[in-house]
Structure 1
Amino acid sequence: MRRKMKAIVKHERNFGAKLMEVVIPEIKDDEVLIKVKATSICGTDVHIYTWDEWSQSRVNPPYVFGHEFSGIVEEVGSNVTNVNVGDYVSAETHIVCGQCPQCLSGNAHICKNTEIIGVDRDGCFAEFVVLPATNLWKNDPSMPLDVASIQEPFGNAVHTVLAQGVAGKSVAIIGCGPIGLMAVTVAKACGASHVFAFDLNDYRLRLAKEMGATSVVNSERENPLSVVNRITDGNGVDVVCEMSGHPIAMDQGFKMVTNGGVVSILSLPVRPVEIDVTNDIVFKGITVHGITGRKMYKTWQQVSGLLKSTEVNLKPMITHHLKLEEFEKGFDLMIKGQCGKVVLHP
């Protein structure tokens, strides 16, 4: 009889999820079985948990979700040579085809045939997860389990901020969810002259200040455009990193960026957003980057380098550690915005 494990299952096309007992998946020749030690809740997981419009159009329950983790290799397939049983790993969560024009041109992060664990196939909110060996990233043995589990979203922050150089430039982070908070520390570590952090949530704005933001602004109490104009002498910010997905905030981001500046968008608006393309993009001559995933594997190298430096400390924004069985509490904290990063331990 095959062994079973605990897992958080998106069990139906509705709000919520269930802790269930499921069969431990078997590996193929090029795959690896990992015992999950820590797994963190992402904004994408919240989309799936709350069953918003995006998740309704993308995922197909029932399945195990979750895609951020750290763990120990338990079993390797017969063709695997890059990792061994006992290795301490995390993973690139985009499983790519390696054959499309994007993959063949060094742009596998935008592979047209991408599958994402925890979205398109079973994920890591469980005691074990299976992945292709080529997706694994060996961790420094000294790296804490919780920090190792959030390297994947940290990579999103790194990719977003470093889509354009930020040294000596002003940077606006719009939306201070966990990845926005990480973007703050990336911008500071990479030499930004001024980092603005915008949100509606005072709890997360306090975390943004702790992570290194120069100016924190509650956009309900202060007009973000007025604040930027005052501090930049009317010039606007050089780089905008859009993490909120809110139509008003996105519009403000395009209005606050300076002529010739850059807007990098990581957020996933659930509906089409109206932008003044003529005045806020074309006439300003700005560059817009759509950010998805992490560059494979340039971003992972940058992540490792930043975490080894003394300039980046992610610990302040890891605010909650919970047992896997307490996942509902974790999602409630995320939905209410009363947390930084929530890490679950199977």
Structure 2
Amino acid sequence: MKAIVKTKRTKGMELINVPIAQLGLRDVLIKVTLASICGTDVHIYDWTHWARNRLTPPRIIGHEFVGIVEDIGNEVTHVKIGDRVSAESHISCGHCYQCRNGYSEVCRNLKLLGVDYDGALSEYLVLPEHVLWKNDPNIPDKWATMQEPFGNAIDTVMAEDVSAKTVLILGAGPIGLFATGIARASGASLIIVSDPNNYRLAISKKMGAHMALNPQKKDITPLILEATNNNGVDVVLEFSGNNQALNQGLQTITPGGRISILGIYEKRVSIDLNKEVIFKKIRIYGITGRKVFSSWYKTSSFLSSGIVNPDPILTHRFPLKNYERGMKLMREGKCGKVILDV
């Protein structure tokens, strides 16, 4: 089969022919229909500090997909040939303390699809049955392929109730844009999006942002305070992985507010814990992955009902062989979500 593989410990990837993985007793063979590129895939392509310390080549990359079950192992019981599926990218052991206490997304023996386990940017994919998700027939393939990052946004937004709350979203990458639509659908009274990329700020307006601010053009702090009657925002959702943005969020959050952080930082961050957290009584949520599988049920409901329409975010679609065009667009910030026809 054809697959996009990180073959060497250097920048770049290759589209090459590789063997299809063997099918275990509880494994499922999937013919991938569509896949989408994640920021993690770009990090692996660019061989960033995170990637160098996290991934060992060779590895088929990718973890966002939709496909059709073509074969099943002898002990598979919950899916059948012909089912249209996607998958949870956190492959947990099911036996550790975290898994047995409902936190399989932080399993002690966790394997990440496309990082520790051969991934979805390939014609075929073999996965254990327990990570598969049967897709609602009302969700089209182009939406089904990005349910995994949509679930990230679900958990970040909905760590607490946002109805009638003022919300600041830091970072308008695809997940931040999903979060904008989710916050709007969940009844947020004011949604402010901050990002230095005007292309993505324009998409945020289509997804329901009331204000779209570029922090490189002006100081956003007084604008946020003015928009909230000098109270500051009730909720900050941090997707950027930028220390300056994180500090702006903490400075503009109202005392007693909460911040959810999904952004990944290349270096250690510096914040004023006394002034911005402790004395303001801020609640901080670290978000990783999704709540397995409760976030998938919420994602499916949001998308199958049409409460959130992610079409404005799905800006580009290429055949698998043109994956480097998608990587380049993501690196340059000239796209929303990039989908690949496999």
TM value normalised by structure 2: 0.99
Are residue 148 (structure 1) and residue 148 (structure 2) matched? no
Tell me how far apart the structure 2 counterparts of residues 204 and 327 of structure 1 sit (CA, whole Å).
21
- Residue 132 of structure 2: aligned partner: 136
- Residue 119 of structure 1: aligned partner: 115
Are residue 35 (structure 1) and residue 31 (structure 2) matched? yes
Secondary structure of residue in 2 paired with 1:24: coil
Cα-to-partner distance string for 1:73-100 (whole Å, 9 max, x where unaligned): 0110111010000000111110111111
| AA at the equivalent of 2:213 | V
| AA at the equivalent of 2:288 | T
Tell me how far apart the structure 1 counterparts of residues 78 and 218 of structure 2 sit (CA, whole Å).
52
Aligned length in residues: 342
Tell me how far apart the structure 2 counterparts of residues 248 and 140 of structure 1 sit (CA, whole Å).
40
Cα-to-partner distance string for 1:49-82 (whole Å, 9 max, x where unaligned): 1111111110111110000000000110111010
Cα-to-partner distance string for 1:19-66 (whole Å, 9 max, x where unaligned): 111001111001101000000001111111111111111011111000
**2:158 aligned to which of 153, 159, 162:** 162
Structure 1: state its 5+ residue gaps. none
Are residue 60 (structure 1) and residue 63 (structure 2) matched? no
| AA at the equivalent of 2:299 | V
Structure 2: state its 5+ residue gaps. none
**1:77 aligned to which of 73, 96, 103:** 73
Secondary structure of residue in 1 paired with 2:18: strand
| AA at the equivalent of 1:312 | V
Are residue 257 (structure 1) and residue 253 (structure 2) matched? yes
The 5 A counterparts of 1:1-346 are 5-346=1-342
| AA at the equivalent of 1:88 | R
| AA at the equivalent of 2:171 | G
| AA at the equivalent of 1:149 | T
Tell me how far apart the structure 1 counterparts of residues 249 and 115 of structure 2 sit (CA, whole Å).
29
Secondary structure of residue in 2 paired with 1:90: strand
Moved over 6 A (4+): none
Q: Percent identity?
A: 48
CA RMSD across the alignment: 0.8
CA shift for structure 1 position 142: 3.3
Tell me how far apart the structure 2 counterparts of residues 163 and 112 of structure 1 sit (CA, whole Å).
22
Cα-to-partner distance string for 1:184-225 (whole Å, 9 max, x where unaligned): 000001110011111000000000001110100011112121
| AA at the equivalent of 2:34 | A
Cα-to-partner distance string for 1:154-178 (whole Å, 9 max, x where unaligned): 0000010001110010111100000
Whether the 8 Å CA contact 2:138–2:304 is kept in 1: the answer is no
